[in-house]
């Protein structure tokens, strides 16, 4: 009988009765062959690997993370509550010491869902990692958290949610936005005024193979994590970098994913994308499970794997080395000195145009954050979309300073009284007050 070196909690929830549409990549059988492979391998007979049922997230779990317009119930379905609940269960297992590591192998995914939600974009409605992280902070206190997103698509939703948060480091490795949805995630996207350098993007050229990915882990991700010193490392474990994925152009492999996971050694992994349901997912998921449990994964090789056929070009290797240098330099610049001139107490504003590809919704946002040297800064987002009239969300962030709290309370009161907004949402993390009306 095989024994796991690390106790692994596995939340496997394939949602066999849920799809965006019958031939959509995000459809019922996405994890069918993964389940076959995990069962045939006898994963759950490995001593130390235990399968758990997901929790079902509560409306409060969503309200503490997102501004849902018009409301939570209107933008989500039970499937989202269960996949977010799967991530929460993973976190609980680790936080409460029932597992050393946990993997939420759940769907639907979440990393394209932003702070404000009008509908589904990039197959995501709510950001299940963010819902999980906010659950962790709410229930287990102040934590320094790092998210390493290894999905092939830039996790623009997660980036948006943590853009201003100096205690959540978001690092994304993805196919260059000039060649793939959602078209963002460039080196110069580094976070808002209160959290500069806490967003790090590493856009990789098409045809990057295992060599390139592992180079990024060794030469950018791990050095940056070492400097950031997180309490918890979370892997958004998208699997669409695989050489057989039908909607991307990368050349990563199951062995590569397993080695990446081994090097990164995340406390919690959450499945994101990955749409090669027969050729990649069964092997990549198996590799990640074994790596997280500390079990020999050297035999996990796709049947059609030919190292030579997907080896990356030398020019790609050189390009990636340059990108990594720059990413590390960017992080260091703000890590070592954060003394650039900032007008404390002033608001900084950005305007965003957001497209929801799945639902065909267009949204326009004006986002203002108060510059603060003590916390993530009170946040105000005015939003209007093709499906909802002008609305507003005010957030007093987790561990906010007293000034930001007071300003937030005042802003929300003013917003309500102004009569300008169809919906006014309030996230008050200090007083645990979440208004979804």
Partner 1 sequence: MWLGLDVGGTHTDAVVVDENGIVATAKVVTDHANLIQSVQKAFEQIFRSYPSDEVKKKLKRINLSTTLSTNAIVEGKTENVGVIVSSGPGIHPSHFKIEQHYFPISGSIDHRGKEISKLNAEELRKAIDACKKDGIKVFSAVTKFSTRNPSHEEQIRDACADADFVTLGHRISGKLGFPRRIGTAYLNSAVWRLFNAFADAIEKNLVSMEIHCPVHILKADGGTIPLAEARKLPVESILSGPAASTMGISSLCRIAGDAVALDIGGTTTDISVFADGEPLIEPHGITVGKFPTLVRSLYTRSIGIGGDSAIVAIDGKVQVGPTRYGPSMAEGGDVPTLLDAMNYLKKISHGDVDLSVRGIERLAKEARISAKQLSLMAIDFAFTTIKEAVDALLKEVNEKPVYTIHEMIEGKVVQPTSVYAMGGPSRAFLPLLEEKFALPVHVPNNYAVANAIGAALARTTYEIELHADTERGKLSIPNIGKFESCERNYSIENAKIDLINHLLSHLQSIGISITESDVQIVEASSFNIVSGFYTSGKNIRARAQVKPAVEITLYSRNNA
Whether the CB-CB separation of 358 and 20 falls below 8 Å is answered with: yes
> Is 2 one of the binding residues for partner 1 (CB under 8 A)?
yes
- Please report the sign of the dihedral spanned by the C-alpha atoms of residue 145, residue 153, residue 294, residue 317: negative
> Is 379 one of the binding residues for Zn ion (CB under 5 A)?
no
Least distance from C-beta 248 to Zn ion, angstroms?
A: 7
Judged by CB under 8 A, which of 243, 283, 356, 412 binds partner 1?
A: 283
Query: Taking the mean position of all CA atoms in its chain, how far away is CA 167?
Result: 15
| Annotation marks residue 112 as catalytic | yes
Tokens at residue 20, please?
């965006």
* Residue 209 DSSP class: B
Residues 113-142: x where in contact with partner 1 by CB under 8 A, - otherwise, as a string: ------------------------------
- How far apart (Å, rounded) are the C-alpha atoms in residues 192 and 171? 15
**How does DSSP assign 220-263, residue by residue?**
IIHHHHHHH--SEEEEEE--TTBTT-TT---BB-HHHHHHHHHH
Distances, alpha carbon 379 to alpha carbons 185, 345, 346, 371, 405, in Å? 22, 12, 12, 10, 10
> Is 282 one of the binding residues for partner 1 (CB under 8 A)?
yes
Judged by CB under 8 A, which of 4, 9, 26, 54 binds partner 1?
A: 54
375 binds, among Zn ion, partner 1, none (CB under 5 to 8 A by kind): Zn ion
> Which of the following is catalytic: 66, 80, 111, 112?
112
Query: Contacts with partner 1 in 143-182 (CB under 8 A)?
Result: none
Residues 246-265: x where in contact with partner 1 by CB under 8 A, - otherwise, as a string: x-------x-----------
Bridge partners for 394 per DSSP: 380, 426
Strand ranges inside 280-344, DSSP E: none
Judged by CB under 8 A, which of 302, 382, 395, 436 binds partner 1?
A: 302
**How many other C-beta atoms can be found within 10 angstroms of the C-beta atom of residue 200?**
26
Binding site for Zn ion (CB under 5 A): 151-153, 238, 240, 273, 372, 374-375, 401, 404
The contact set with partner 1 (CB under 8 A) reads 1-2, 12-18, 22-23, 27-29, 32-33, 35-37, 39-42, 44-45, 51-54, 56, 78-79, 82, 246, 254, 278, 282-283, 286, 290, 295-296, 298-303
Enumerate the active-site residues: 112
């Amino acid at each position: 009988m095989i024994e796991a070196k690390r106790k692994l909690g596995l939340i496997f929830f394939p949602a066999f009765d849920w799809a965006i549409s019958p031939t959509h990549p995000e459809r019922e059988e996405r994890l069918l062959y993964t389940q076959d492979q995990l069962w045939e391998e006898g994963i759950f007979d490995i001593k130390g690997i235990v399968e758990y049922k997901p929790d079902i997230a509560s409306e409060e779990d969503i309200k503490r993370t997102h501004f849902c317009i018009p409301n939570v119930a209107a933008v989500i379905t039970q499937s989202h509550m269960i996949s977010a609940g799967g991530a929460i269960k993973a976190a609980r297992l680790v936080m409460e010491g029932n597992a050393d590591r946990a993997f939420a192998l759940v769907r639907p995914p979440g990393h394209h869902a932003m702070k404000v939600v009008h509908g589904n974009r990039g197959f995501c409605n709510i950001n299940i990692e963010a819902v999980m992280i906010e659950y962790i902070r709410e229930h287990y206190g102040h934590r320094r958290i790092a998210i390493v997103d290894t999905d092939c698509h830039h996790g623009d939703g997660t980036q948006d949610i943590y853009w201003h948060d100096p205690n959540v480091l978001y690092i994304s490795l993805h196919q260059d936005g000039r060649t793939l949805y959602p078209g963002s995630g460039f080196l110069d996207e580094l976070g808002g005024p209160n959290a500069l350098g806490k967003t790090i993007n590493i856009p990789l050229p098409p045809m990057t193979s295992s060599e390139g990915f592992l180079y990024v882990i060794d030469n950018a991700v791990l050095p940056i994590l070492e400097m950031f010193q997180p309490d918890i490392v979370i892997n958004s474990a998208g699997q669409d970098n695989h050489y057989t994925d039908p909607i991307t152009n990368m050349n990563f492999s199951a062995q590569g994913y397993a080695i990446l996971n081994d090097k990164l050694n995340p406390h919690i992994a959450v499945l994101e994308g990955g749409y090669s349901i027969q050729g990649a997912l069964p092997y990549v998921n198996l590799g990640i499970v074994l790596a997280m449990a500390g079990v020999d994964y050297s035999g996990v090789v796709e049947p059609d794997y030919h190292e030579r056929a997907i080896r990356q070009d030398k020019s790609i290797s050189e390009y990636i080395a340059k990108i990594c240098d720059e990413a590390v330099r960017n992080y260091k610049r703000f890590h070592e000195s954060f003394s650039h001139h900032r007008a404390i107490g002033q608001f900084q504003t950005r305007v965003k145009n957001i497209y929801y590809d799945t639902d065909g919704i267009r949204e326009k946002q004006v986002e203002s954050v108060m510059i603060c040297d003590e916390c993530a800064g009170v946040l105000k987002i005015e939003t209007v979309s093709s499906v909802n009239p002008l609305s507003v969300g005010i957030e007093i962030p987790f561990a906010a300073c007293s000034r930001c709290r007071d300003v937030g309370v005042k802003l929300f009161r003013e917003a309500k009284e102004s009569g300008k907004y169809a919906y006014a949402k309030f996230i008050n993390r200090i007083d645990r007050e979440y208004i979804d009306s």
